[in-house]
Amino acid sequence: MKHDIKPTRAWAEEMDQRDGLARFREEFYLKKGSIYLDGNSLGLLSRRAENSLLEMLSSWRERGIDGWTDGKHPWFHLSEQLGAQLAPLVGATPKEVIATGSTTVNLHQLLATFYQPEGKRIKIVADALTFPSDIYAMKSHVKLHGLELAEGLIQVESKDGQVVEEEALIEAMTDEVAIIVLPSVLYRSGQILNMERLTKAAHERGILIGFDLCHSIGAIPHHLSEWGVDFAFWCNYKYVNAGPGSVGGLYVNQRHHGQFPGLAGWFGSAKDVQFDMDHTLQPASHAGAFQIGTPHVLSLAPLLGSLEIFHEAGIDELRKKSLLLTRYLMNLVDTQLADMDFSFGNPLEDTRRGGHICLIHKEAVRICKALKARGVIPDYRAPNVIRLAPMALYTSYIEVWEAVERLKAIMENKEYEGYKKERGVVA
């Protein structure tokens, strides 16, 4: 992508006037005077997501138990319906995706299904910078198979503590590895891993590979089926804006359909026989087989409205704007915050950078508190990371300019010194 970005307010104003996605900003509940740059942790509520939730409550109120089979969106097939709507965001066929569970529950299901250590192939490969919950799940399955952690789990280290070298990940793909689980985008630095390259390398060595898409779905295009990825899992409350604790999703490549789920539950049944109540499970012939329990209908509902917006906006257009926003933000940091001891932990190249910027500063925790006091909502990650995520659907270019101006004032006036150097319970 070619850039002609100028680190000026005038450039931001011009871009906002030309922005073909600007109309979607009106869809969201934006707090007056506040600049929300934390959508990579929790996306904002849209009016359509609110309406789809209210519609589902109305269905419950008016239909009672008949809501499972009647109404605009019958609950019995809702997970499959939403799986089909999520599929374009991950580059999959409708039958390869299901809206279900949560990130960690879905990872447990996928590991229980696909991690089958045998002979010398007993190891799981992960990276040392991945989100802790993924590691907790992997360690659980190593232990469940009676293995010691040291022999069952390999965590590939980072040279700089910010990014992971793909060459090191490939080097770890030995004939002792059974499965690999990696993030598509690293949650701290925003580094994108080359999923196509890593999948090809894994398959050449007879290894299954899956990805955690929590920090990429809704932010970057994917082509999971084309790349041949074995499985993936994610949450929908970040870039997809489906609400706190919303139902997640999982993808299973169609070549694995028919494999019995490692954690069986009745909503993994083929729909036509589910209510036969037979004690022998007949799994669905698609990704729906990997559901476990009854779907959380009210937590699925906001996805209906949110995904409408994504399909209208288009993930490719969202990615183009996201890259411009983050590049503009980086340019402003370089020009407006020079000599203030900030550095970038994220890759600078567009092809390697996800949807957020990782600013490193020794006073990060206090700076984040000062930003909040000035109406800029950032995200802190210990010990020294400020994550800033301008969202293509609802962040304007002028807001990026204003956020950096407020940060500049904080640094010039040393406002951060008025805050304790300790994080809150939730960061």
Between helices 297-313 and 78-90, what is the axis angle to 10°? Answer: 40
Asked if residue 294 belongs to a known ligand binding site, the reply is yes
CA distance 251 to 255: 12
pLDDT in tens, 165-181: 999 999 999 999 999 99
Residue type, position 196, single letter: E
pLDDT of residue 238: 98
As beta bridge partners, residue 377 has 36
- 36, 237, 251, 310: which is the annotated catalytic residue? 237
Q: Which CATH number fits domain 51-311: 3.40.640.10, 3.40.50.1000, 3.40.630.10, 3.40.50.800?
A: 3.40.640.10
98 in Cβ contact with 83 (< 8 Å) = yes
Instruction: Confirm whether 237 is a catalytic residue.
Output: yes
pLDDT value at residue 2: 46
Annotated binding residue 74: no
| Sequence-distant (≥ 6) Cβ neighbours of residue 101 within 8 angstroms | 109, 247, 248, 250, 291, 292
The pair of three-digit structure tokens given for residue 283, joined into one six-digit string = 């799994």
Is 212 designated active site?
A: yes
Catalytic residue among 123, 188, 238, 321: 238
Task: Output the tens digit of pLDDT for each of the chain's 427 residues.
Answer: 345 899 999 999 999 999 999 999 999 999 999 999 999 999 999 999 999 999 999 999 999 999 999 999 999 999 999 999 999 999 999 999 999 999 999 999 999 999 999 999 999 999 999 999 999 999 999 999 999 999 999 999 999 999 999 999 999 999 999 999 999 999 999 999 999 999 999 999 999 999 999 999 999 999 999 999 999 999 999 999 999 999 999 999 999 999 999 999 999 999 999 999 999 999 999 999 999 999 999 999 999 999 999 999 999 999 999 999 999 999 999 999 999 999 999 999 999 999 999 999 999 999 999 999 999 999 999 999 999 999 999 999 999 999 999 999 999 999 999 999 988 877 7
Catalytic residue, candidates 95, 123, 366, 387? 387
Asked if residues 195 and 227 have their Cβ atoms less than 8 Å apart, the reply is yes
Map out the domains of the chain as residue ranges.
9-30+314-418, 51-311
CA-CA distances (angstroms) from residue 58 to 28, 45, 63, 289? 22, 19, 8, 29
CATH architecture entry for 9-30+314-418: Alpha-Beta Complex (3.90)
Is there a binding annotation on residue 104? yes
What one-letter code names the amino acid at 130?
A: T
pLDDT at position 424 is: 83
Task: For residue 115, say whether it is annotated as part of any ligand binding site.
Answer: no
Residue of 38, 127, 212, 379 marked catalytic: 212
Tokens of 274: 């589910």
Q: How many CB atoms lie within 10 A of CB 427?
A: 12
Look at residues 191, 145, 150 and name the one whose alpha carbon lies nearest to residue 168: 191
Q: Which residue from 85, 68, 66, 84 is spatially nearest to 76, judged by alpha carbons?
A: 68
pLDDT, position 3: 54
Residue 43 to residue 291: CA distance in whole angstroms: 25
132 annotated binding-site participant = yes
Q: Where are the alpha helices (DSSP H) in 219-360?
A: 224-227, 297-313, 315-336
